[in-house]
Amino acid sequence: MSAGENEVTIYHNPRCSKSRQTLALLEEQGIKPTIVEYLKMPPAPEEIASILTLLGKEPRELMRRKEAAYAENSLEDAALDNTALIKAMHDNPVLIERPIVLANGKAAVGRPPEDVLKILS
């Protein structure tokens, strides 16, 4: 799921305050984004790889390393390649940092929420 020319997509967790704040910020800008509740509908590995490319980040930079799933799946193992890490993010979407906003062929993590404003124009 990628954002088209004028489409804005947010990978959202309604239980996360930063995610709710980012969604509210988008709405204050007059934007009605496509909302992907990624815990219910995890992005495909290809989508995660594409988001990482747009962010200019490596998989671990987008992972919530304090989540139990990180330790349970031994994801700190330096021998794991990007494909294995991305698969782990797909299989355990709680590991994905949130929220992620896609707009104008760019991506931003809403931490802080204002960081998404730079990709809106």
What's this model's pTM, rounded to 2 decimal places?
0.92
* CB-CB contact of 17 with 24 (8 Å): no
The residue with tokens 């988008």 is: 26
Catalytic residue among 16, 31, 49, 80: 16
Place of tokens 């747009």: 54
Contacts of 50 (CB under 8 A, 6+ apart): 2
**Tens digits of residue pLDDT in 41-96:** 999 999 999 999 999 999 999 999 999 999 999 999 999 999 999 999 999 999 99
Q: What's the longest Cα–Cα distance across the chain?
A: 45
Summarize pLDDT for 2-23 with one digit per residue, the tens. Answer: 444 579 999 999 999 999 999 9
What CATH number matches the domain at 8-119, 3.40.190.10, 3.40.50.12780, 1.10.3720.10, 3.40.30.10? 3.40.30.10
Is residue 66 annotated as part of the catalytic site, yes or no?
Answer: no
